[in-house]
Amino acid sequence: MKCFQYFKDKKFRLREGRSAPELKKQINSEDYSSGADRVIKSSCSATSPRGIPELYEEKAHNLRVFTFSELRQATTDFNRLLKIGEGGFGNVYKGSIKPADGKGDPIFVAIKKLNRDGLQGHKQWLAEVQFLGVVEHQNLVKLIGYCAADGARGIQRLLVYEFMPNRTLEHHLFNKAFPPLPWKTRLQITLGAAEGLAYLHQGLEVQVIYRDFKSSNVLLDENFNPKLSDFGLAREGPLADRTHVSTAVVGTYGYAAPDYVETGHLTAKSDVWSFGVVLYEILTGRRSLERNRPKAEQKLLDWVQQYPADSKKFGLIMDPRLENEYSINAARKIARLADSCLSRSAKDRPKMSEVVENLKQIMQVSDEGNPSEKSFELCEGDLDVSETKADQYGPSESWKRRMAHLAKLGEHVEGASRRRLMIMQRAKVL
């Protein structure tokens, strides 16, 4: 993962062979809500909303605690053939484990294995256990359990998630080895991802800022329902009397909000900006940054500005792999929504709950749209302007010239045929 900079981590002193309760204490003691990350902590504990550590205490028992040998066996000793992903945290493997009650067939899971060097990955591992142990939504990936083992092999930190067979949104948008996503599926993914972010921002006792929304973090299940993953950079939002969280700037280049990059002030509107970037990726089939394109097209947001949603040439930005099978009216509305998410001023960006409602209305427009409307627009754009205007009042001059030319060709062919007939007749006479 390409980040602007990493956290300056405190050292974590973990004792050998800790059990699950001690791990829980370690997570609770982690300073996620003070210092650089939280601006203020209320002194009125009786009325203060509970933070993630307190919420985690209630739900920690829902997570399974695995031994390292169990997960090594589940992945056939972390076989390279079973590797399905990798990132700054470490490698992800497909594995199979027994159900919690030990009955029934094994279930497929995704197992993320922390690289053993560096404290940054350890802090992200703790954050994932903490946040995913609390959140519960159909558009957020489910954490099944974890492994925390210290022994002769060193520190072992692993996470076990539900397995998502259709990989990520990134694979289907940019990898030509995958079939193109149909228009309706793209809308379904867009809405589901928005609902996941809205839940994080407004559906819990404490606000959660995701901080790393991008197409590669949107997983797809067997029905292409989206689920947000990778909560290593997630942070609690500001308390009610504060506007932002002050924190080190991290995230993926091309997706992070400029106001956050410039000031380090993190708000839920930072996620809204990232969502706007992904909206344009879904429309265009292009990454936020592509160095192999001409200079004017390398940065997606700069390129799409040349084709405003209300302009006649807007259709030129649409993903050619859609093959004109989409509603141009719905596409324009999505582009306008993306533009509002990408407002330079964070205050002018909509809340994710407002984005969700807007997307639901757009999906209705798309369902009601004429499937041929896009083809009509392109054909109209290809015609000469004078011919298009002439069609409104009658045949154009160029059309008359073409018809006259065709008539002359017909006369030429007819004359040639008459000459051949005369020659044949003379041959017979002779």
DSSP string, 147-214: EEEEETTEEEEEEEEE--TT-BHHHHHH-TTSPPPPHHHHHHHHHHHHHHHHHHHHSSSS-EE-----
What mean pLDDT is predicted for residues 213-239? 94
Q: CA–CA separation, 43 vs 242, rounded Å?
A: 14
- Predicted local distance difference test score (pLDDT) of residue 53: 87
Closest to 215 in 3D by CA, of 180, 158, 269, 254: 254
Return the CA Rg of the chain: 29
Q: Which of 46-60, 214-228, 369-383 is predicted least confidently?
A: 369-383
Quick check: 7 pLDDT over 50? no
Say yes or no to pLDDT of 173 above 80: yes
Strands (E), 89-216: 90-97, 107-114, 143-151, 154-162, 208-209
Please indicate whether residue 15 or residue 100 has the higher confidence score (pLDDT): 100
Smallest CA-to-CA distance from 200 within 170, 164, 234, 168 is with 234
Instruction: Calculate the average pLDDT of the chain.
Output: 81
pTM of the model: 0.77
Q: What per-residue confidence (pLDDT) applies to 90?
A: 85
Name which of 18, 44, 283 is nearest 126 in CA terms: 18
Binding site members for ATP: 113
59 touches 39 (CB < 8 A): no
- Percentage of the chain surpassing pLDDT 90? 60
- The larger pLDDT score, comparing residue 429 to residue 250, is at 250
67 neighbors 98 (Cβ within 8 angstroms): no
Report residue 89's pLDDT band, with 50, 70 and 90 as the boundaries: confident
Residues 108 and 196: their CA atoms lie apart, in Å, by 23
Mean per-residue pLDDT, 267-289? 98
Residue pointed to by tokens 């909560």? 231
Closest CA to 215 of 261, 179, 181: 181
Closest CA to 327 of 284, 379, 374, 381: 374
285-311: average pLDDT: 97
Give the CB-side neighbour count of residue 237, counting CA atoms within 13 A.
Answer: 22
pLDDT, residue 381, reads: 43
Give the separation between CA 319 and CA 186, rounded to whole angstroms.
11
* Tokens read off for 72: 């090594």
Query: Residue 116 carries which DSSP code?
Result: S
Give the integer Cα–Cα distance in Å for 102 and 376. Answer: 59
Q: Which whole number is the average pLDDT over 159-183?
A: 97
Out of 249-263, 303-317, 358-372, pick the least confident. Answer: 358-372
What's residue 143's pLDDT? 97
- The structure tokens listed for 365 are 């427009």
Least confident of 58-72, 173-187, 392-406: 392-406
Confidence of residue 407 (pLDDT cuts 50, 70, 90): low
For residue 319, what are its two tokens?
A: 């993903």
What's the CA angle centered on 313, arms 309 and 314, to 5 degrees? 30
Distance between alpha carbon 365 and the CA centroid of its chain, in Å? 22
Q: Which two tokens stand for residue 396?
A: 């154009």
Rounded CA separation 368/377 (Å): 17
Look up residue 237 and give its two tokens. Answer: 């939002």
Percent of the chain with pLDDT over 70: 73
Higher pLDDT, 429 or 323: 323
Rounded mean pLDDT, 393-420: 57
CA 305 to chain centre: 20
Q: Is the pLDDT higher at 24 or at 332? A: 332
The arithmetic mean of pLDDT across residues 45-58, rounded, is 77
The helix (run of H) or strand (run of E) holding residue 58 is helix 52-59
pLDDT tops 50 at residue 47 = yes
Among candidate residues 146, 186, 153, the one with its CA nearest the CA of residue 169:
186
CB 235, CB 266: distance < 8 Å: yes
pLDDT of residue 20: 41
Tens-place pLDDT, residues 367-386? 776 554 544 454 444 444 43
Note the residue count of the chain.
430
Tell me: pLDDT of 81 over 60: yes
Chain-centroid distance, C-alpha 126: 23
- Residues facing residue 147 across a β-bridge: 158
Q: Which residues are catalytic?
A: 212
- Determine the pLDDT at residue 377: 53
Arithmetic mean of pLDDT, 108-119: 82
Is residue 13 over pLDDT 90?
no
> Which pLDDT belongs to residue 8?
37
